Amino acid sequence: MANNRLPNPEPRHACWRGWRLLVGLLTGTIALTNGAVATEAPASSPPPPAVDSAVSHVPDGPKNSSSLASIRAWQVQVSATPMGWPWSSPPRHSVKLRDAGPAQTLYCVGGGARSGEYRLFGHHRGRVRVLSGIIEQAHHPVYRLRHQVAGWHDFQTYLPNWGSGGHEVTAITYRWQGNVYRPIQFQSGRWCDFPYFHQTSPECLASQPNFPAAITPDS
């Protein structure tokens, strides 16, 4: 009896699929994920993170953030852009972190949408030196604390927390460590949890500080 059934095409198709898989793996158009074959081309690289429009125009930071001349030239360049100086904190401002001697100066060297980035300059061992790494500061002033090391007071800066609707803040405490200031503590909470705002915000006057005695504020 004649066999009228068509030949099974599966072996030929299987060989063809195997050849496509081999070519795809070699060319990168097919990827193996958890043992499965993905027939789509690999996803393209993710887009770069969005940059806040307020700071997207800012030129790259100073060529040398340890040089006052380089920092000042960069600040002039930033201020001359069409949108002007983008941060709520100023390009530079004075702070008094030692009871004796001249004040120190914070110079902005960059920043993001939430705050500026500063470096501290001041007299130390007979000449003006860089006295810190990066110090983050928003529009609130530097707050000097009572605790000190070798005559240098601790201080805090305050950054509004993303996603809190303006109700929360991060306090960064900096401490003198030999020849520079470094951050030693990051604390997040509501504005009235921090001593600085007990003196500056009417809404916080009735609140009580919750910091340990080692970093209580100046009276």
Q: Is 33 in the same domain as 88? A: no
Average pLDDT across each block of 10 residues of the chain; the chain has 219 residues. List them in order: 47 47 46 37 39 62 92 94 88 95 95 89 93 93 95 95 82 96 95 85 64 39
Is 53 contained in some domain?
A: no
Residues 75, 161 within the same domain:
yes
Q: Token pair of 115, please?
A: 């705050």
- C-alpha 120/C-alpha 177 separation (Å) is 14
Same structural domain for residues 77 and 151? yes
One domain, residues 40 and 87: no
Q: Is residue 39 domain-shared with residue 140, that is, in the same domain?
A: no
DSSP-based three-state secondary structure for 143: strand
Question: In whole angstroms, how far apart are CA 61 and each of 44, 57, 111, 129, 138?
Answer: 30, 12, 9, 19, 18
Same domain membership, residue 114 and residue 145: yes
Asked if residue 22 is part of any domain, the answer here is yes
What is the structure's pLDDT at 156? Answer: 97
The verdict on 133 and 84 lying in the same domain is yes
Per-residue pLDDT at 68? 95
Q: Could you tell me the residue range of the domain that residue 196 belongs to?
A: 68-215
Tell me the C-alpha distance between 64 and 78, whole Å: 15
Asked if the structure places residue 200 within a domain, the reply is: yes
Q: Which element (helix H / strand E) includes 134?
A: none
Torsion of CA 62, 89, 159, 142, to 10 degrees: 100
Question: What is the sign of the dihedral through the CA atoms of 176, 180, 181 and 185?
Answer: negative
Same domain assignment for residues 74 and 33: no
Count of structural domains, the chain? 2
Whether 60 is in a domain gets the answer no
- Residue pair 107/91 in contact by the 8 Å Cβ criterion: yes
Rounded to two decimals, what is the model's pTM? 0.68
In this structure, the answer to whether residues 148 and 109 fall within a common structural domain is: yes
